[in-house]
Structure 1
């Protein structure tokens, strides 16, 4: 029995694009590189051949990994859900630190999509777990190594 992993529509699209790139561009180039390296002769001492074979292994491994992720993905499109103001997977949430009044906006995404520089946090991260289920105006405490931090949910968007 396979476990389903949550993924946003954008995350699934990005994986499909990468898979297409690997299959239609990288794989044929690597095959051509291997064929060219074979023409150089002795394969035992042919660095280009060994490098191309190594690249082929990485490429094929990534293709299998992406196909597995997509086959086990539970794609969630929050734009098609009615916004009841509750923080759920895929929601974009604006919070404020109750002590410093610093505002932050995060989108809760799957593990593979998380990118803190793009304000995308994994559904399994401590801050996402603390926010899930909260509504606009709710306060929550984030337990961090430097101590507990109080936050308030300012806005919940399903975009």
Structure 2
């Protein structure tokens, strides 16, 4: 934990700003925020009533609640809630007592959340292009194809899916 007397003013300023921002966002309980910044409740009590922290906190609330920040705020809250739910979701994914269809849907949810599910074919496949020149008096012929690698048994076993 951070000892208040030995902190440089720059480090103190950054710590206060980070705590003010996290409190303004209201995504985690106070104890979680303090632990994330490695500060004690006693340290926080000393600094929370200072004019500098109060000003920082008020500014962070203003920024967080600004009308032009709605999309970012909703996205951040959704991502935080998702992250908090992931350990339980991960346990369900590997729980053989859960129906296979539910586990597959959960796996798809993880893929989509990671941006892996709705990628264009080119992102997960190889493109092949062959150009044949038939001479100076004829235009070249180009053949293009997208080759998607087959799903292997090893890949399916990695996600506990049987074929």
TM-score relative to the length of structure 1? 0.30
Greater strand content: 1
Greater C-alpha radius of gyration: 2
Greater helix content: 2
TM-score relative to the length of structure 2? 0.30
